[in-house]
């Protein structure tokens, strides 16, 4: 199960990255090709969010960016971060349901990382691989740059193997009842006007 799931996830992440770069615009709307609510749709949506945020982070680092535009982009990044967290929680809900019938002992150890956060790391890694591959293909830079990027790409590809193996082992442990998972909502406070003191002080009469 886990190996096929990992292969599917990597394939969907790569598809999302390819689809995004057909438009290469942070404003292009998501067009998810998978059925609403499916595991595949969650993975595709998750990576699309990551791809958009990747490019927002690039844009905001323009040294001569207009301050007003920079603030606008920062707000977009804030929204994107919240969406990313929400998608991870949706994915973890999927895994909780997937493993809910697995018998576990009281002393079955918890894992510090949930499956969805591991998939989050894999999604980001696929973006790193894609963009490093683009650097290797450049023709407007010195060969030294290409060689350095090729070395980095080799490391990223090894990380892909290692992370995929680790996630596969983790899912197998959950499926076999060797580990158990709990999901704690992120409960981010800075987005909540009732919990962020800068915001709720402004609301006081």
R_g (Cα) of the chain, nearest Å = 20
Q: Tell me: the pLDDT tens digits for 55-84?
A: 999 999 999 999 999 999 999 999 999 999
The helix/strand count (H/E) of the chain reads as 6, 0
Q: What are the distances in angstroms from CA 7 to CA 3, 4, 40, 127, 167?
A: 6, 5, 12, 16, 11
Q: Angle CA(194)–CA(113)–CA(196) in degrees, nearest 5?
A: 10
Q: Tell me: the pLDDT tens digits for 173-185?
A: 999 999 988 887 7
Is the separation of the CB atoms in 58 and 64 below 8 Å? no
* Mean pLDDT across the chain: 92
Tell me how long the chain is.
Answer: 205
Is the separation of the CB atoms in 1 and 175 below 8 Å? yes
| Distance from C-alpha of 101 to C-alpha of 25, rounded to nearest angstrom | 43
Cβ neighbourhood burial of 49 (10 Å; 0-12, 13-18, 19+):
buried
pTM over 0.75: yes
Cβ neighbourhood burial of 44 (10 Å; 0-12, 13-18, 19+):
buried
More confident residue, 104 or 10: 10
């Amino acid at each position: 199960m886990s190996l096929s799931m990992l292969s599917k996830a990597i394939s969907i992440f790569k598809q999302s990255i390819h689809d995004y770069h057909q438009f290469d615009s942070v404003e292009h709307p998501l067009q998810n090709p998978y059925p609403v609510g499916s595991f595949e749709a969650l993975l595709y949506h998750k990576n699309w969010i990551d791809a958009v945020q990747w490019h927002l982070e690039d844009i905001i680092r323009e040294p001569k960016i207009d301050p007003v535009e920079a603030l606008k982009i920062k707000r977009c990044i804030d929204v994107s971060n919240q969406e990313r967290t929400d998608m991870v929680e949706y994915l973890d809900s999927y895994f909780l349901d997937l493993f809910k019938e697995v018998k576990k002992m009281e002393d079955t150890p918890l894992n510090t990382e949930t499956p969805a956060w591991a998939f989050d790391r894999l999604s980001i890694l696929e973006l790193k691989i894609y963009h490093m591959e683009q650097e290797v293909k450049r023709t407007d830079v010195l060969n030294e740059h290409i060689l350095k990027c090729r070395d980095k790409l080799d490391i990223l590809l090894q990380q892909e193997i290692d992370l995929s193996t680790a996630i596969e082992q983790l899912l197998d442990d959950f499926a076999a009842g060797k580990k158990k998972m709990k999901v704690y909502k992120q409960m981010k406070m800075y987005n909540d006007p009732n919990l962020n003191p800068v915001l709720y002080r402004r609301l006081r009469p």
